[in-house]
Amino acid sequence: MTILDDLERYYDSVPRTGGARAEELGSLTLFVQQGAGWPYYARPTPGAGPVTAEEVHRVRLRQRELGVPEAFEWVAETTPSLRAAAEAAGLAVHEHPLMALAADAEQPPPHPEVRLMGADDPLLRAAVTVPALAFAEPGTALGAAGPAELTAALADPGTADRAAHVSARLASGASGLAAAVRDGVVLASGIHNPLDGVAEVVGVGTLPRMRRQGLALGVTSALVADARARGVGLVFLSAGDEDVARIYARAGFRRVGTALIAEPVS
């Protein structure tokens, strides 16, 4: 078994255990979220043959029918046929460095402002809201939103639903969450989702005004330490771009492939 085989198994299992229904449509599997939580995507069915543009079309029709995002995610090296099929079906394909933690990776020293959060942490709602502000200002440069914007965003009742969902995952052990907190304010956070010895790090974000202080590196290292403490042998992630990949490389991640995401041209 290679790392990419392990990742294929993980990508196919996580939605099923995360409350999604799987619909097999030719060489593709569409995961449809049944309850609260993030919407899923369609991806290649493990072991299926090459994917055709017609199959991508068919899945898009089904996604529209269900009112879910027309999103496809896969690993370029594992399913090379899907890129051309997605493009022929009119989708835009985005590349992201796929990285895995080197087995012998040494971690930077723990960041004094970063801690793990449990299901009942009073700052959990802020911790799950910070990435929304972070991803609204992509890239690694300093940006506009800071603690005041976080306070304003927390007035949105939707943040309570998101916190409740993450809280349940923390309570069950399906996720771990690390956050950087200064003077009682969450400045950065991230999550990892362990399953059967593999964990993906997702949603690492720093308040745009608080970037470039080493907070994301501290959060990532804490997530790695938590995953390892739970016996996870393979920690991986897909980085937004090469600039973000550089930050993860400092935490010991190495490039193992290319994660591809296809979605309608905007």
Ligand X SMILES: CC(C)(COP(=O)(O)OP(=O)(O)OC[C@H]1O[C@@H](n2cnc3c(N)ncnc32)[C@H](O)[C@@H]1OP(=O)(O)O)[C@@H](O)C(=O)NCCC(=O)NCCS
What are 120's two structure tokens? 């009942």
Cβ-based neighbour number of residue 135 at 10 Å: 12
Contact between 223 and 196 (Cβ < 8 Å): no
Stretch that binds ligand X, among 4-12, 76-84, 121-129, 243-251 (CB under 6 A): 243-251
Q: How many residues bind ligand X (CB under 6 A)?
A: 21
Out of 18, 44, 240, 252, name the contact with ligand X by CB under 6 A: 240
Query: Collapsing DSSP states into helix, strand and coil, what is residue 225?
Result: helix
Q: What is the three-class DSSP state of 163?
A: helix
Residues contacting residue 144 through CB under 8 Å, at least 6 positions apart: 137, 208, 209
Rounded Cα distance, 218 and 117, in Å: 14
> 253-264 and 28-33: which strand pairing?
unpaired
- Which one, 5 or 243, has the nearer CB to ligand X? 243
One of 100, 124, 215, 256 touching ligand X (CB under 6 A): 215
Name the segment binding ligand X (CB under 6 A); options: 6-14, 59-67, 191-199, 209-217.
209-217
Q: Could you say which residues in the range 92-111 bind ligand X, by CB under 6 A?
A: none
Interface with ligand X (CB under 6 A), residue from 82, 166, 217, 259: 217
DSSP 133-145: HHHTS-SSS--S-
Q: Which stretch binds ligand X (CB under 6 A): 48-56, 83-91, 158-166, 212-220?
A: 212-220
Query: How many Å apart are CA 39 and CA 61, to the nearest integer?
Result: 17
Residue 215 parent element (H or E): helix 215-229
Per-residue x/- track, 125-154, ligand X (CB under 6 A): ---------xx--x-x--------------
Out of 75, 177, 188, 259, the residue judged to bind ligand X by CB under 6 A: 188
Residue 247, interface with ligand X (CB under 6 A)?
Answer: yes
The least CB distance from residue 23 to ligand X, in Å, is 28
Our CB check for ligand X shows the closer of 56 and 252 to be 252
Q: Can you give the C-alpha Rg of the chain in angstroms?
A: 18
User: Which residues of the shown chain bind ligand X in the complex (CB under 6 A)?
Assistant: 134-135, 138, 140, 188, 204-206, 211-217, 239-240, 243-244, 246-247
